[in-house]
Chain A
């Protein structure tokens, strides 16, 4: 079974700084997807970014980008020019191609300091 590990329970950075959240995973499969979800205090799970394992190019979405290292099974999230609204729990997640159920990491609580 696949596992997802987030080794940073909490992080905090000053507004406008750059922060990187770590995620590693374990799987023996070759076709899968990786995700970063954000959960603010409202509880709503919001997709931040998605990466297909077969793509070598790292996904980017505005201020959010990933560093996907398939051989190392690493999938970190970089947030540039951090904003107060980025304060939230961030979950790394995984699913296999063709099997839509997600396996989540334990989460990183990110606080952006004004």
Chain B
């Protein structure tokens, strides 16, 4: 497995603003993913971050709200745009190589006030 550094670890943001979360892997990986974990809930996949092309979003998630970048094989960002209190969640970055298990960053606890 590899090590993922995710930051910030937590933030409190005003509604209407945007927050960008960064995910850095210590080695090249094939796939990178972004998940959301709402309070007391399970993890839901937001999108697959594709290197050099637009992310692939799951049903219920759109690029305007959650723009994602992946400029290379070790780095990705997720932006939560125009935030509302309903966006308060833990956001987790995940990565893996084909045929191996996924490993996760430490998560970002976002509170929108």
Bind each other: yes
**A100 and B106 in contact (CB under 8 A), knowing A35-B101, A106-B42, A107-B42?**
no
Q: Report which of B44, B48, B107 forms a contact with A44, defined as CB distance below 8 A.
A: B107
**A100 and B42 in contact (CB under 8 A), knowing A35-B101, A43-B106?**
no
B interface, over-half SS: strand
Q: Report which of B1, B30, B102, B106 forms a contact with A102, defined as CB distance below 8 A.
A: B102
**A100 and B102 in contact (CB under 8 A), knowing A105-B42, A107-B42?**
yes
Closest A residue, CB atoms, query B102:
A102
B15 within 8 A of A: no
Please name all residues of chain B whose beta carbon is closer than 8 Å to the beta carbon of A45 when the two chains form the complex.
Answer: 43, 92, 94, 104, 107
Interface string of B25-56 (1 = CB under 8 A from A): 00000110100000001111100100000000
Whether B106 and A98, one on each chain, are in contact in the complex, defined by CB atoms closer than 8 angstroms, is: no
A55 within 8 A of B: no
Closest A residue, CB atoms, query B109:
A43
**A100 and B45 in contact (CB under 8 A), knowing A42-B106, A43-B90, A43-B109?**
no
Q: How far in angstroms is the closest Cβ of chain B from A44?
A: 5
Whether A102 and B90, one on each chain, are in contact in the complex, defined by CB atoms closer than 8 angstroms, is: no
Q: Report which of B33, B90, B103 forms a contact with A101, defined as CB distance below 8 A.
A: B33
Closest A residue, CB atoms, query B41:
A106
Q: How many residues of B contact A (CB 8 A)?
A: 22
B87 within 8 A of A: no
Q: How far in angstroms is the closest Cβ of chain A from B94?
A: 7
Interface string of A51-65 (1 = CB under 8 A from B): 000000000000000
Closest A residue, CB atoms, query B45:
A101
Interface string of B75-113 (1 = CB under 8 A from A): 000000000000000101010101001111011010000
Closest A residue, CB atoms, query B92:
A45
A91 within 8 A of B: yes
Q: Which residues of B contact A (CB under 8 A)?
A: 1, 30-31, 33, 41-45, 48, 90, 92, 94, 96, 98, 101-104, 106-107, 109
